[in-house]
Amino acid sequence: MSTPRPQNPPARRPEVTCEAAHGIARELWGVNGRVTELPSDRDRNFRVEAEGESLVLKVTDAALDEIELAAAALERLDGAGGSLAVGRSLRSLSGALAQTVSGGDGRSHRAWVVKWVEGTPLAEAGDRSPELFRALGEELGRARVALDGWDHPGLDRDLKWDLRRGAEVAWGREGFIQCPRERRVVREGLATAEVGLASCGARLRVGVIHGDANDHNILVRESSPAAWPCGLLDVGDIDRGWVLGEVSIAAAYLLQGEPDPLKVLTEFVAGYHQSDPIPEAELGLILELLRLRLCVSVSVSAEQRAEEPRNEYLSVSYKPALELLALIQRWDPEEVRRTLAVACGLEPADVRRDVGSLEERRRALLGPNLSVSYRDPLEIVRGEGRYLMDVGGRSYLDGVNNVPHVGHGHPDVVARAARQMGALNTNTRYLSDVRLGFVERLLGTLPAPLEVVYLVNSGSEANELARRMVHAHSRRGD
């Protein structure tokens, strides 16, 4: 796939060394200790270990109102009452929340400090039990509920991680994915998510969410095996968005690399439902929001890697996310919905669609020579890559139709077809260098005895023409 890549690459992270961070912490916050850099995708974060306390120094290009939002969110979450500790912000010696500092390249940034939270990132912990996922779901749900009723002027911002614009963000960045196979997986997932969310996405509840409870931002007290969730980090993506996004975003990371991801999803959602109840009508959309987050994560990661290829943190979930995305493409959304409903103690509603009226319209409007496949006809509304999607969002591997060799909706084919149709779309009664050039290229792929091309519009027409040619040549009947 050779579609041009999107423009406007992300800005560079601040150029701040551990030595410079040590000076910032000592001079502006009065903290003198050992400094080590922490992984980050867009800021520079440092742990400062002083006698009796540890802090996190954050050097960022975020606006001051974003830092104020994050500090207020930490204060709110600190009162959630659960076991997930958060690090409150600490003001500088001058009483300011943030201070302006300079990077090694002369650019200006803002620095601010939060308390260090003890624990092991779940991503670095050992085996994870079903009980851990259930407990984690319950604690995350409790933290999410603590954000109900809280407001801040910074919440209504244009955040690329807001799943309400997830399709727009991912489609705008999937061109950065260099591997055609990986790009195809993302495009298939995006198309499926769009179909699944088309009819009810606008009706999802909206509220304040943490928005980034991935396994690097979740801390556990015991690491071998992983147990006792104890901390929640990084409120940089806190936002007003789909409430269902909280559990779905977290699940998108918790399922990665697990031998039984559906079991993990079931336990996690069941635990979450205990503290932040999920309406039965929304349960079926968890899979689609999870899928959408994976597409956004992979696409944004590809964009960031193009700008900063040596930052390994940007690729930490890239491959596992792609593997999970390909796996869940084969899941039946209806079976997942019913499984989650039962796990949450809810009665699964019957959402089977009646296609009888559609069949009646078809019989009234189309000739009887056009057959319908399958005993239970499919209402197909989208095609992307290797898959067709029905109106309910279920994917079907397509080995039947005329495009399996390049896939449905291939961006190069779409772009070339649109360009040609925008210039000229007519039949062969006129001379055309473009048409003859295409035929010459086609003949170049065929053995020498084949030297004349008949242009048709379908396999059926090609078969009929071949039959007629054989009949004319042999002067015999069928």
Question: Is the distance from CB of 108 to CB of 100 less than 8 angstroms?
Answer: yes
Helix (H, G, I), strand (E, B) or coil at 380: strand
Q: What is the mean pLDDT of the chain?
A: 91
- Of the pLDDT bands very low, low, confident and very high (cuts 50, 70, 90), residue 5 is very low
Compute CA 351 distance to the chain's CA centroid, rounded to the nearest angstrom.
26
Alpha carbons 365 and 230: distance in angstroms, whole number: 62
Place of tokens 């596992």: 320
The amino acid occupying position 177 is I
Q: What angle do CA 24, 28, 32 make, to 5 degrees?
A: 65
Task: Tell me the CA distances in angstroms from 233 to 114, 243, 411, one per residue in order.
Answer: 10, 19, 39
Say how many CA atoms lie within 13 Å of 178 toward its Cβ: 8
Task: Tell me the CA distances in angstroms from 396 to 205, 275, 388, 392, one per residue in order.
Answer: 30, 36, 5, 12
The residues, any chain, with a CB within 8 Å of residue 452's CB and separated by 6 or more, are: none
Task: Tell me the CA distances in angstroms from 379 to 79, 120, 291, 335, 349, one per residue in order.
Answer: 49, 48, 22, 18, 21
Digit-coded pLDDT (tens) for 165-222: 999 999 999 999 999 999 999 999 999 999 999 988 889 999 999 999 999 999 999 9
- Of the pLDDT bands very low, low, confident and very high (cuts 50, 70, 90), residue 7 is very low
- Of the pLDDT bands very low, low, confident and very high (cuts 50, 70, 90), residue 2 is very low
Q: What are phi and psi of 120, to 5 degrees?
A: -110, 130
Question: Is the distance from CB of 176 to CB of 306 less than 8 angstroms?
Answer: yes
Q: Which residue has the higher pLDDT, 469 or 3?
A: 469
Other CB atoms within 10 Å distance of the CB of residue 86: 22
Task: Tell me the CA distances in angstroms from 301 to 19, 64, 217, 248, one per residue in order.
Answer: 28, 25, 17, 19
**Closest alpha carbon to 89 in 109, 119, 64:** 64
In sequence order, what DSSP letters do the residues of 77-120 get, joined into one string? HHTS-SS-B---EE--TTS-S-EEEE-TTS-EEEEEEEE---SE
Say whether pLDDT at 6 is over 60: no
pTM: 0.87
**Closest alpha carbon to 173 in 300, 259, 79:** 300
The pair of structure tokens assigned to 134 is 């259930």
Digit-coded pLDDT (tens) for 247-300: 999 999 999 999 999 999 999 999 999 999 999 999 999 999 999 999 999 999
